[in-house]
């Protein structure tokens, strides 16, 4: 027992590498900026329109450009200097957010401005995220990859605690424009860190033109039942489950009758749950239990989303909503960390950018899922629409696990493949 506690308080293995430490600090600033941007966009859009459908339009704008370019982003991450690509994309995104901050401050912002900037920023992110996911495994030794994945997740989950809550208070005290200025500064910080970071030489992928490289990556994914299942589950969960995040302004204002600061606390509570389980999982080793963690975590995520939506509608208790958001965060990170660490360990370096580009589409499709929830909410209301998505996530998690033998034995398959790769 004492040894287990000691492991939790040890310095995570990946943070013992100076280059990864620098990257991790920069990533914290960038992700804080992104979370602040998402919060501010949603709040400003709902303030201007009062319509959950327009929240869906913002998601649709970001998703369409990102989905269209994610595969190309993965190809370029394999071919180009990853560090320079990250610097460029971070600075472009910072400029877009700065523009949004200025027009908001001048009180000339209209909803179409928000939609357009979300569209362009989504396209830029399609090149940024594959480059980041393909870069950081080269900043550490292979034995620290699982730790690095957990820490990368901890950045996202930790910022889901701090950034939305902080953004809510900043908007309440100083206005939405101030929140956007702070978001822009986060991306500039990441770009500055990457400019100073000395990255080891990484061999670029050989091959033909980008289209041929993209087809090669798709064949690699399609030829593996394990990769197809892992990415397929993430797609499904992002589309039907994570859409609740874009609907939070409607939950806060129309369902629970609270303001921007309480909305930030709701989203922050989900981040607390995610961060807590992330730190626990960072001390775990081995692959034998990843199959149950992936399937069980995904199913619990869907159930907790549905419970949050329906209890908010019929009970209207903010403390209960906060408690359920904690469960949402725990279950979400349980399956996502298991999936991401498996993908990073099993993917060849020459294919990492393309696979992560395709994997990035699972996050890009999340705003698109918000659009379908927003459209459905026009007929059945936001809580029921979100609950339906949560139920579908649970059904998808159990379906493959019951019918597919490889999914049942996923932990064993992952362990065998990791051992084979380690030998090579």
**Residue 10 corresponds to which tokens in the numbers above?**
């040890």
Query: Cα 168 vs. chain centroid, distance in angstroms?
Result: 20
Q: Look at residue 287 and tell me whether its pLDDT is greater than 60.
A: no
Task: Label residue 347 left, alpha or beta by phi (over 0 means left) and psi (-120 to 50 means alpha).
Answer: beta
pLDDT surpasses 50 at 6: no
What pLDDT sits at residue 401?
61
Question: Hey, which of 108-112, 214-218, 341-345, 419-423 has the most confident mean pLDDT?
Answer: 108-112
Cα-based torsion angle of the residue sequence 415, 420, 423, 424 in order, rounded to the nearest 10 degrees: -140
- pLDDT at position 2 is 46
Mean pLDDT, to the nearest integer, of 69-96? 89
Distance CA 181, CA 83 (A): 24
Q: Which of 172-186, 262-276, 359-373 is modeled with the greatest confidence?
A: 172-186
Q: For the chain, which domains are there?
A: 14-423 (1.20.1250.20)
3-class SS of residue 409 = coil
Q: Which range (41-55, 104-118, 264-278) has the least confidence?
A: 264-278
- Between 92 and 223, residue with greater pLDDT: 92
User: According to the model, what pLDDT value does residue 357 have?
Assistant: 79
């Amino acid at each position: 027992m004492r040894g287990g506690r000691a492991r939790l308080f040890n310095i995570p293995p990946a943070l013992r590498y100076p280059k990864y430490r620098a990257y991790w600090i920069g990533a914290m600033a960038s992700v804080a900026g992104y979370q602040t941007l998402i919060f501010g966009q949603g709040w400003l859009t709902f303030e201007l329109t009062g319509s959950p459908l327009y929240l869906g339009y913002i998601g649709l704008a970001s998703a369409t450009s990102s989905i269209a370019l994610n595969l190309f982003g993965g190809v370029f991450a394999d071919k180009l200097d990853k560090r320079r690509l990250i610097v460029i994309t971070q600075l472009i995104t910072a400029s877009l957010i700065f523009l949004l901050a200025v027009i908001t401050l001048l009180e000339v912002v209209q909803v179409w401005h928000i939609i357009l900037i979300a569209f362009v920023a989504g396209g830029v992110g399609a090149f940024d995220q594959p480059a980041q996911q393909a870069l950081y495994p080269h900043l550490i030794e292979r034995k620290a990859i699982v730790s690095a994945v957990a820490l990368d997740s901890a950045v996202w989950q930790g910022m889901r605690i701090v950034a939305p809550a902080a953004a809510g208070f900043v908007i309440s005290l100083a206005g939405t424009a101030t929140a956007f200025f702070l978001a822009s500064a986060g991306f500039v910080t990441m770009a500055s860190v990457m400019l100073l970071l000395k990255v080891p030489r990484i061999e670029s992928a050989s091959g033909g033109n980008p289209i041929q490289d993209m087809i090669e990556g798709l064949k690699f994914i399609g030829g593996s039942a394990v990769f197809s299942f892992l990415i397929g589950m993430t797609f499904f969960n992002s589309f039907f489950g994570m859409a609740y995040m874009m609907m939070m302004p409607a939950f806060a204002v129309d369902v629970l009758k609270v303001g921007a600061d309480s909305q930030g606390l709701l989203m922050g509570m989900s981040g607390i749950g995610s961060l807590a389980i992330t730190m626990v999982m960072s001390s775990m080793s081995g692959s034998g239990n990843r199959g149950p963690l992936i399937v069980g975590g995904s199913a619990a995520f869907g159930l907790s989303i549905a419970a949050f939506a329906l209890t908010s509608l019929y009970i209207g208790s903010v403390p209960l909503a906060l408690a359920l958001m904690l469960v949402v965060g725990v279950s979400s990170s349980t399956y996502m960390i298991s999936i991401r660490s498996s993908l990073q360990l099993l993917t060849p370096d020459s294919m990492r950018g393309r696979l992560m580009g395709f994997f990035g589409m699972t996050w890009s499709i999340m705003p698109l899922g918000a659009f379908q929830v927003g459209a459905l909410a026009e007929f059945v209301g936001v809580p029921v629409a979100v609950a339906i998505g949560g139920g579908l996530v649970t059904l998808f998690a159990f379906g493959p696990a019951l019918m597919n033998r490889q999914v049942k034995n996923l932990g064993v398959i992952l362990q065998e493949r990791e051992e084979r790769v380690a030998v090579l």
